[in-house]
Amino acid sequence: MNAAAPGAGPALEQLIKAQAYGLGFDLVGITSLGIPDTADAFDSWLARGYAGEMDYMERGAIKRRDTRLPFPGATTAIVVALNYDGTTPAGPIARYARGQDYHDVMGDMLGSLRTFIECQLMRPVCGKAYVDTGPILERDIARKAGLGWFGKNTNLINPRLGSFFFIGSLLVELDLEADKPFESDYCGTCTRCIDACPTDAFAAPGVLDATRCISYLTIEAKGAIPEEFRAAMGTLVYGCDICQSVCPWNLRFAQALTVSELAPRPATAGKNGRELAREILAMDDQLFRAAFKGSPIKRAKRRGLARNAAVVLGNTGDESDVPLLTAALEDPEPIVREHAAWALAKIEQGVRLEDIPR
């Protein structure tokens, strides 16, 4: 423990939290590492095939079952949250992906926090920062650190911030006093998130079948989007915020952006789904790299984003998009050609969506 003796000044835990807030994080908590409470649930989720093509989940499963394993000597996690603005209108790009890549932004901030700790202790500190990239169950340690509860939409929800925030963690070799876990669940009988999902992606409250989730289908899935889900995508080009947008905790407590690096970039700002889809489908690899350099959107690669764009144009059903889709039939990527052909068929049939998610 690092409790301060009388008159000795703030404890290290207090200093760390103050510095985390000073760096721009919105929440911070501390917890000890070990076997996650959700380890068994994670194993069950994998066994049921809900991870889909996300093979990295299985490859890192051993480490995910014990948060002390990422590096020798890891004992404590300093867990942080960074708001990415749930107050802006929904759109074709999920809110989290409209600005700079959050992995880089938060990674730099956590690096600064580690440097601060080393300065306080006047020695190197063995540690490792994770921002949605390492083999740890981040929601689990965030709940243990007191940051919130698991919502029925599987997101971590904080009673003062909602759920539009990133989770990051700094694993260290230090013996720090842990915060109390968040024990309450304030979802109650509400099922708005489950009811609003256009693809029925929730197998049960708090259990997501990723293979049916629009975020997974437009980002993680590398192959063809199953036809049964294409119409449900509406004008969503990358990701989906529907289950968060309808959450009462977000409707009431979502906060505006405070970190400028996460503000929407020109390639994503102020465009509806059809406008953005047309731009993307017309891009070659060079234009794609230029438009989305330093953006989380690059994860889908041009072929994935162009695939999604073709679906959106098929859903909007505007005949003026026929020349662009026809040109896409010659795209070097088979996956783009396939979805462009589907879109052209929909337009030819006169199929239009009456209720398109925006």
Active site residues: 132
Residue whose pair of structure tokens reads 């989290």 in the numeric block? 96
Structure tokens at 87: 């107050």
Question: Whole-angstrom Cα distance, residue 103 to residue 121?
Answer: 27
CB atoms within 10 A of CB 175: 12
Instruction: List Cα–Cα distances, 192 to 102, 244, 355, in angstroms.
Output: 28, 9, 18
Q: Which residue type, as a one-letter code, is found at position 304?
A: G
Instruction: Taking the CA atoms of 103, 109, 110 and 111 in sequence, report the sign of the dihedral they define.
Output: positive
Helix H, strand E, coil C: the string for the chain is CCCCCCCCCCCHHHHHHHHHHHHCCCEEEEEECCCCCCHHHHHHHHHCCCCCCCHHHHHCHHHHCCCCCCCCCCCEEEEEEEECCCCCCCCCECHHHCCCCHHHHHHHHHHHHHHHHHHHHCCCCCEEEECCCCCCCHHHHHHHCCCCEECCCCCEEECCCECCEEEEEEEECCCCCCCCCCCCCCCCCCCHHHHHCCCCCEEECCEECHHHCHHHHHHHCCCCCCHHHHHHHCCCCECCCHHHHCCHHHHHHCCCCCCHHHCCCCCCCCCCHHHHHHHHHCCCHHHHHHHHCCCHHHHHHHHHHHHHHHHHHHHHCCHHHHHHHHHHCCCCCHHHHHHHHHHHHHHHCCCCCCCCCC
